[in-house]
Amino acid sequence: METSRQASRNTMIKSFKNCFKIPKFKIQNYISMQKTKIIFFGTHQFATKILSGLIDSPLFEIKKVITQPDKPVGRKQILQKSPVKLLAEENNLEIDQPDSLKNYELLANGSELFIVAQYGLLIPENILNIPKFGTINVHTSLLPKYRGASPIQSAILNGDTKTGITIMLMDKGMDSGPILSQKEIDIENAETYLELDARMANISSQLLLSTIPKYLDKTIVPQNQDETQVTLCKKLSRDDGKIDWKNSSKQIYNQYRAFTPWPGVWTMWNDKRIKLLKIKISEEKLATGLVQIEQDKIYVGTNDFALEITKLQIEGKPVIESKVFLNGYKNIDKVKLL
């Protein structure tokens, strides 16, 4: 008669076989061998999905989680824990939050592999080289395209219809290490950064969990990147969200999709920043930057079709719908935004 432990083991084998298409005999070897000891580096919401998958996997023992320090948020500057820290606390994992890794003395605790996902701080080469299996990074583009800090936003901003995930080994360069695996995905026409980020997190977790065993048993041979195909993407600033009304409606709409919620897209009126929180392309045609009010709707001209603004926020004020905004600011009609 099958014991509960045997049943659990068989269920685990079946699950891994179905999810990752790994031969049964290899899964049995992975499960029977000692768990791979890892240290995880991550900070943002995307990284919680990666960490969650590692926590749930029977293949790994997480020795430590390294995440960015708590950050002051809002007018009262209340310290806020990172999403990764919250998840690590829920699972009673050891946590460290160095301000910088430049002079950080990492106690590896016997770890054999480091895994990085949206950590946000530079990891020096001496730390990358500590574990015997190296350091794996989950990068949200099809490298060597979009090396850098904003690959998802850059793909949306540029109007790309496809992007992907790369599981790679880290070296001293910026996203320049050898590739272990990649998966291409489509970008939906109206998909925003937050929506694509969440969808890519799920796919990335699955790809990482299926890649690591093949890398550890040398089924995968790391492939060098084609340096002739490299493109870069920068760290975003608030200024990147400023709208140039001389651009096309599609360009501005892609800017909105890419930069919502941060840095957001915005314009200036009466020396106040107005953040545009919900917009759509209309069939109206207006002069570039011209505001027009029609039936309680706000339109602004671009170099082709006007954009309809349906939700916005004036600097220092709460978020409001456009109809509510017009109750107090009808004088914006016929204004020329620059």
- Verify that 321 and 222 share a domain, yes or no: no
Residue numbers of the domain that contains 262: 238-332
CATH number of the domain where residue 9 is located: 3.40.50.170
Among 194, 216, 233, residue at a domain's last position? 233
Quick one: pLDDT at residue 20? 52
- Verify that 15 and 50 share a domain, yes or no: yes
- Verify that 71 and 209 share a domain, yes or no: yes
- Verify that 277 and 213 share a domain, yes or no: no
Quick one: pLDDT at residue 17? 52
- Verify that 203 and 80 share a domain, yes or no: yes
Question: Per-residue pLDDT for the chain (338 aa), expressed as one digit of tens each?
Answer: 444 434 444 545 555 555 555 555 455 554 445 899 999 999 999 999 999 999 999 999 999 999 999 999 877 889 999 999 999 999 999 999 999 999 999 988 899 999 999 999 999 999 999 999 999 999 999 999 999 999 999 999 999 999 999 999 999 999 999 999 999 999 999 999 999 999 999 999 999 999 999 999 999 999 999 999 999 999 999 999 999 999 999 999 999 999 999 999 999 999 999 999 999 999 999 999 999 999 999 999 999 999 999 999 999 999 999 999 999 999 999 999 98
- Verify that 141 and 227 share a domain, yes or no: yes
**What CA–CA distance (Å, rounded) separates 193 from 152?**
7
- Verify that 327 and 201 share a domain, yes or no: no
Quick one: pLDDT at residue 292? 97
Specify if 338 maps to a domain: no
Quick one: pLDDT at residue 16? 53
Among 233, 263, 282, residue at a domain's last position? 233
- Verify that 205 and 297 share a domain, yes or no: no
CATH number of the domain where residue 308 is located: 3.10.25.10
Nearest to 166 by CA among 187, 183, 149, 178: 183
Beta strands 95-96 and 113-117, pairing class: unpaired
HSE toward the beta carbon, residue 48, CA cutoff 13 A: 15
For the chain, the domain total comes to: 2
- Verify that 89 and 162 share a domain, yes or no: yes
Among 163, 198, 233, residue at a domain's last position? 233
The two three-digit tokens of residue 185, written as one number: 């995905």
- Verify that 245 and 215 share a domain, yes or no: no
**What CA–CA distance (Å, rounded) separates 166 from 136?**
10
pTM reported for the whole predicted model: 0.88
- Verify that 218 and 88 share a domain, yes or no: yes
- Verify that 71 and 88 share a domain, yes or no: yes
